[in-house]
Amino acid sequence: DAKTTQPTSMDCAEGRAANLPCNHSTISGNEYVYWYRQIHSQGPQYIIHGLKNNETNEMASLIITEDRKSSTLILPHATLRDTAVYYCIVRVAPINNFNKFYFGSGTKLNVKP
Amino acid sequence: AAGVIQSPRHLIKEKRETATLKCYPIPRHDTVYWYQQGPGQDPQFLISFYEKMQSDKGSIPDRFSAQQFSDYHSELNMSSLELGDSALYFCASSLDRTEAFFGQGTRLTVV
């Protein structure tokens, strides 16, 4: 699976959009970008994933650059409850036996009042 | 909606003892993953099962073993426990190997 690079930490004001970047310059054509977050020792929570098109769900939007070497997770209106470590994970399509997610270091997002 | 259930939530064991952690996946999910998260560390992949067969293996010590049963629940068995095994252990499940949903974890403390 491709390696990802994320900033160690970011701050965001409550109510503002939080934009979390991720670099995955070695991504292959069949690898998806997944985002998870972990709120203080709770189980990681799935947020969103995509292959090459931008994706949006009730939690967030995922913007993937045209060359797919980087992506941005957008939380449109951050709240204090969004304070967490956000992980960007690149994973091959679930064929054969590629049944694992590798967590990198993640970005600690601090949402401040 | 039903989530991944892990038991017990907390477990205290002494060195050299054995521990068994259980995971009940979301109904109809066919894949189970196990992760270990030490203090201040990121989750580390241990092992996964797809349709009751081991499908992938990560940094799982030889002292650990796991299996998935006919009802799809999974157990992680840990023997000869060491102080360094103290960690959060997460189980996750997915359907058809897509996005994984995690349980709340078991906190294992080895004293």
Question: What is the enclosing helix (H) or strand (E) of A112?
Answer: strand A107-112
List the one residue out of A59, A63, A62, A80 whose CA is nearest residue A16.
A80
Place of tokens 């995509």: A50
Per residue in B45-65, pLDDT (tens digit) is 999 998 889 888 888 999 999
Place of tokens 């997610």: A101
List the one residue out of B96, B54, B93 whose CA is nearest residue A94.
B96
Residue A94 pLDDT exceeds 70: no
Residue B34 pLDDT exceeds 90: yes
In the structure encoding, which two tokens stand for residue B89, read together?
């252990």
The DSSP output letter for A101 is -
CA–CA distance, A40 with A44 (Å, rounded to integer): 9
CA distance, residue B70 to nearest chain A CA (Å)? 19
Whether the CB of B44 is below 8 Å from some CB of chain A: the reply is yes
CA distance, residue A45 to nearest chain B CA (Å)? 7
Place of tokens 């990802």: A4
Q: How many residues does chain A have?
A: 113
Q: Do A101 and B44 touch (CB under 8 A)?
A: no
CA–CA distance, A70 with B54 (Å, rounded to integer): 32
Per residue in A28-55, pLDDT (tens digit) is 888 889 999 999 889 999 999 999 989 9
SS3 of B77-92: the string is EECCCCHHHCEEEEEE
Evaluate whether A16 touches A109 at the Cβ level (below 8 Å): no
In the structure encoding, which two tokens stand for residue A91, read together?
């994973």
CA–CA distance, A3 with A19 (Å, rounded to integer): 20
Residue A71 pLDDT exceeds 90: yes
Percent of chain A with pLDDT over 90: 71
Report pLDDT for A23: 95
Whether the CB of B99 is below 8 Å from some CB of chain A: the reply is yes
Per residue in B55-106, pLDDT (tens digit) is 888 889 999 999 999 999 999 999 999 999 999 999 999 887 678 899 999 9
Q: Do B96 and A94 touch (CB under 8 A)?
A: yes
- Cis preceding-peptide flag for B8 (omega within 30 of 0): yes
Encode B53-83: b = buried (16+ Cβ within 10 Å), e = exposed. eebbeeebeeebebebeeebbbebebeebee
**Mean pLDDT lowest among A56-60, B15-19, B53-57:** B53-57
